[in-house]
């Protein structure tokens, strides 16, 4: 009996193990789907990070040649890859960092565009000409006008293209230097960067475009005056020559390279930077070796609202949704939605060169990025204005007077103190009340390599370098001496698309 019982038990256990084994093997895709669903429920930052780490192309799938090589997996690079793939090409993306996204991941406020379908749906009257004029004014008239014209005229198409691939930016706000609501954000009002990168990575993966990380391109090669590939270092140890008919450089700017910044702007030495560590100007250096030229290298944007301890950008959308800036005395001191250079100058005139963003629960509900700032410990809270003042260490009576005056200006639609005309749709009167301490920090490099509207890299004599294209923050000229908030995301999508299309046309002709 004991033997029979033991045998029966063994059979049962064996059967259970077989079932378990079959279930494990047979339901792999189902388990993966469940894992993916779990990831989708996590916060955007976790979802992007998790998906990225799990799904980059393994090195054993590397080929010796591709139609198009794209250097850099930020917004411009992934956009270029998708457009090149759509034209029948076989592109590859090499990213030197361990994850895709670049500075695009840090984008907060949104993407500017004019005459869009979403503006029309919300009865916002805007025009490409107004967008052009306001951007030119913001850049102090020094923008490359041909590039700017292409930029504004193709902005609405870029919004449509993103929408067509599942990246919907239909929540509108306003940024400094603009008169109309043309800053497009995700539907829930959250920060644009992580949402955009997540969507682009998903599309790159679904199209089967290889994306290698920890893959640092060290040189762009050429033969007979034509670009023909790159040298790429994998995991900092294994260098390979990869051939291509065209190369697109989307390596970003040089905002994290303090040596490069100090060489052209020694006055900025010592400032914090909001840039991710990979923004070191590699692409500019490689392009210069091939005869490409740079423009506006000393034009480096300092953003007025940066949390200093973590060097973290506090997006312009917070002001666009109604926040004000006050000094340590609890007083307003500038038009908060003036251009970034002017707001920065106003903060730097204060005794401690720092200020507070002050807002209420209404602003918090409309600018979803504030949730992230809270998680990072940046946000000061008070149930009443007086309680907030105490937490900030500013005079309570003065802060109360400042908010009363501001709310009166909102009600009358007239800011008699500083002439602000935008971001005045709602009073700051709904408690709890909040503040974030900020000061200026290095944010964006307007300078870079010179390209034409076809994104072809050009030489000193204005001739294009055959097979070499560039897009995103690596290029210069578009923004002039000051970039309007929301224009960088538009830049990477508009010119990223153009680089993908034009490099594909070139590659096909070879």
Residues known to be catalytic: 340
Identify the CA nearest to 468 among candidates 283, 319, 201, 258.
283
Distance CA 59, CA 252 (A): 24
Distance CA 335, CA 325 (A): 9
Query: 487-508 and 145-153 helices cross at what angle (nearest 10)?
Result: 90
Residue 7: exposed, middle, or buried by beta-carbon count in 10 A (0-12, 13-18, 19+)? exposed
| Residues contacting residue 31 through CB under 8 Å, at least 6 positions apart | none
From the list 490, 469, 474, the residue with the least C-alpha distance to 81 is 469
Q: How many whole angstroms separate alpha carbon 162 and alpha carbon 199?
A: 9
- Angstrom distance (rounded) from CA 77 to CA 178: 28
Q: What's the CA gap between 494 and 155, in Å, rounded?
A: 7
**Two structure tokens written together for 98:** 């361990």
Alpha carbon of 399 to those of 224, 335, 394, 433, 497: distances in Å?
Answer: 68, 17, 7, 11, 47
- Contacts of residue 181, defined as CB under 8 A and 6 or more positions apart, other chains included, come to 119, 122, 124, 126, 172, 173, 174
d(CA 236, CA 199): 29
Beta strands (DSSP E) in 72-214 are: 91-94, 111-112, 171-173, 183-185, 211-212
Distance CA 283, CA 270 (A): 24
């Amino acid at each position: 009996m004991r033997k029979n019982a033991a045998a029966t038990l063994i059979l049962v256990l064996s059967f259970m193990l077989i079932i378990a084994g079959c279930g494990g093997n047979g339901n792999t895709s189902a388990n993966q789907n469940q894992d993916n669903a779990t990831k989708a429920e996590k916060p955007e930052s976790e979802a992007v990070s998790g998906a990225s780490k799990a799904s980059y192309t393994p090195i054993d799938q590397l080929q010796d040649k591709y139609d198009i090589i794209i250097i850099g997996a930020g917004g411009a690079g992934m956009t270029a890859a998708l457009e090149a793939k759509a034209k029948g090409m076989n592109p590859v993306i090499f990213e030197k960092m361990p994850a895709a996204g670049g500075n695009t991941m840090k984008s907060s406020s949104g993407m500017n565009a004019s005459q869009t379908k979403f503006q029309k749906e919300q009865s916002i009257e805007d025009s490409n000409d107004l967008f052009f004029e306001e951007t030119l004014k913001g850049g102090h008239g020094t923008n490359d006008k041909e590039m700017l014209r292409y930029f504004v005229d193709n902005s609405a198409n870029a919004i449509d293209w993103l929408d067509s691939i599942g990246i919907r930016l239909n929540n509108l706000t306003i940024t400094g230097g603009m008169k109309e609501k043309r800053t497009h954000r995700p539907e829930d009002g959250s920060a644009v960067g992580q949402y955009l990168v997540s969507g682009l990575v998903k599309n790159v993966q679904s199209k089967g475009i290889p994306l290698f990380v920890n893959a640092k391109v060290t040189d762009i090669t050429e033969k007979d005056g034509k670009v023909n590939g790159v040298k790429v270092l994998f995991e900092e140890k294994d260098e390979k020559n990869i051939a291509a008919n065209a190369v697109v450089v989307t390596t970003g700017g040089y905002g994290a390279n303090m040596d490069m910044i100090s060489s052209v702007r020694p006055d900025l030495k010592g400032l914090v930077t909001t840039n991710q560590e990979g923004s070191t100007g590699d692409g500019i250096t490689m392009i210069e070796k091939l005869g490409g030229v740079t423009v506006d290298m000393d034009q480096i944007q300092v953003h007025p609202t940066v949390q200093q301890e973590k060097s973290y950008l506090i997006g312009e959308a917070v002001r666009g949704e109604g926040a004000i800036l006050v000094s340590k005395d609890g007083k307003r001191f500038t038009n908060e939605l003036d251009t970034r250079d002017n707001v920065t100058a106003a903060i730097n005139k204060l005794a401690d060169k720092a200020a507070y963003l002050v807002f209420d629960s209404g602003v918090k509900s409309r600018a979803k990025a504030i949730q992230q700032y809270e998680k990072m410990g940046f946000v000061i809270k008070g149930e009443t204005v007086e309680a907030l003042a105490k937490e900030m260490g500013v005079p309570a009576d003065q802060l109360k007077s400042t908010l009363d005056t501001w709310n009166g200006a909102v009600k009358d639609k007239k800011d008699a103190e500083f002439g602000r005309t935008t971001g005045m749709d709602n009073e700051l009167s709904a408690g709890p009340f909040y503040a974030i301490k900020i000061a200026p920090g290095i944010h964006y490099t307007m300078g870079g390599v010179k390209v034409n509207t076809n994104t072809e890299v050009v030489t000193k004599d204005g001739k294009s370098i055959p097979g070499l294209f560039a897009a995103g923050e690596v290029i210069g000229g578009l923004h002039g001496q000051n970039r309007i908030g929301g224009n960088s995301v538009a830049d990477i999508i508009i010119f990223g698309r153009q680089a993908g299309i034009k490099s594909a046309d070139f590659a096909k002709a070879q």
